[in-house]
Amino acid sequence: MTTPGTSELLARRYATLGEHSPLFYREPLELVSGEGVWLTDAQGRTYLDGYNNVPHVGHANPVVADAVHRQLRTLNLHTRYLNHLVVDYAEALLAAFDDRLDRLFLVNSGSEANELALRVARQHTGSTGVLVSDFSYHGNTTSLAELTTGLTVHEPLGGHVRTLRIPDATGLTETAARDLCVRALGEVDAAIASLQEAGHGVSAALFDPLFSTEGLLTPPDGYIEGLARRVRAAGGLVVADEVQSGFGRLGDAMWGHELFDLSPELVTLGKPMGNGHPVGGVVTTAELLDEFGRRNMYFNTFAGSPVSSAAGLAVLEVMEHERLLPRAHETGAYIASRLHGLAAESPLVASVRGRGLFFGIDLVHDDGAPAAGTARALTEKMREKGVLISKIGRDDNVLKMRPPMVIEQAQAEILVDRLAESLAELA
Ligand code: PMP
């Protein structure tokens, strides 16, 4: 698979970007073009993209490409001049939130969004303490590295950070789930007490409503609401990191936090927002934005430019025009039913997780131990069969499938058929 050309490119990459910048696959894949859910490598082979959520409305989407191109040839500037596109975009995006969340900061990445949200929370509360899941990722700035628990980051955990083991009710009886919820909320109480005793107080709880890095967890009913109640009672704010769960990925809702009876004070956005053009955002209340704005001059050179706004608007337009939310629901339901069928047949599959067009397939050995090696082998096998997926989770044993939202029924069939074959071959 690795041709002399690919090997040479790899050597040049190592010689410039270093050997530690991560690449997927034993033999890295050199991609040259994309269209919709399809990707083409340097040898002309096509792959079904079952993994990437940034090309939300499809790789090389012509509506987004044309909007960006048109605007690049017209005007691109920072936000200290009036331009209608940024206002049009803010209005269109905020219309997708409940009435309380009616203000927007534009940024360039998920990291910037989380960094800013935590800064807003700190200034509002006068506290510094943060609660995060004990296996999560929220970005790459210094302060986010200090609260990263889920991927290899060697920044020590900040003294102002407390971690929570997010309870997972997958497969539990109602009684067992209720007991788990009570225990887990007890841990929240202890974490808050510890932050208060140490003098940090509570500024925010920051979590991804789908718990994507954790391997897609389903907390017991009432856990998230109980967590939010406790954080607010301690004076803190709730920050929903919707970098992965947002923009209709879940099919039946535009935002992951809508899974719960929860209106966060801050919602952070990124990845799919500009279909690959770097756009991120923090959606919040008028009170929080105004309070922050009175104290700080927040200026961001690239964020909210006419070109970024054109990209963001085009994504929303395509979503509406192509009915991507209901389609994610329908296609997602088809994939989920097929995956549940596979789980019933294959002893390797302990559970099928996720919603809409976001799936986690929990792989275990006969003794129930996490099957990380098998997950790795499966992603390689799927690549050989022309389908790209990945894996995630505390034990790196949860297959992660999150195709562009434009995936159609026939393509969904290919995705699941190849997975069925791969599972059978590895069983
Ligand atoms: N939050 C979540 C949940 C993420 O998955 C990521 C990126 N993987 C980020 C934040 C950081 O986003 P970015 O890479 O755009 O800075």
208-255 residue pLDDT tens: 999 999 999 999 999 999 999 999 999 999 999 999 999 999 998 999
Q: What distance in angstroms lies between residue 144's CA and the mean position of ligand 1's atoms?
A: 10
Task: For ligand 1, say whether the CB of 244 is within 6 Å of any of its atoms.
Answer: yes
C-alpha count within 13 angstroms, C-beta hemisphere, residue 146: 14
Task: For ligand 1, say whether the CB of 268 is within 6 Å of any of its atoms.
Answer: no
ipTM over 0.95: yes
pLDDT at 413: 98
d(CA 365, CA 384): 23
pTM of the model: 0.97
Task: For ligand 1, say whether the CB of 274 is within 6 Å of any of its atoms.
Answer: no
Tens digit of pLDDT for each residue in 23-57?
Answer: 999 999 999 999 999 999 999 999 999 999 999 99
Reference 5, options 22, 34, 30; nearest CA is 30
Task: For ligand 1, say whether the CB of 270 is within 6 Å of any of its atoms.
Answer: yes
Domains, the chain, in order of start with CATH, read 62-321 (3.40.640.10), 323-399+408-427 (3.90.1150.10)
pLDDT at 1: 55
Q: At what angle do helices 409-426 and 324-345 cross, to 10 degrees?
A: 20
**Mean pLDDT for the stretch of residues 306-319:** 98
DSSP-assigned letter for residue 291: H
Tens digit of pLDDT for each residue in 66-82?
Answer: 999 999 999 999 999 99
pLDDT at 121: 98
Strand stretches in 108-159, DSSP E:
130-133
pLDDT at 2: 61
d(CA 38, CA 386): 10
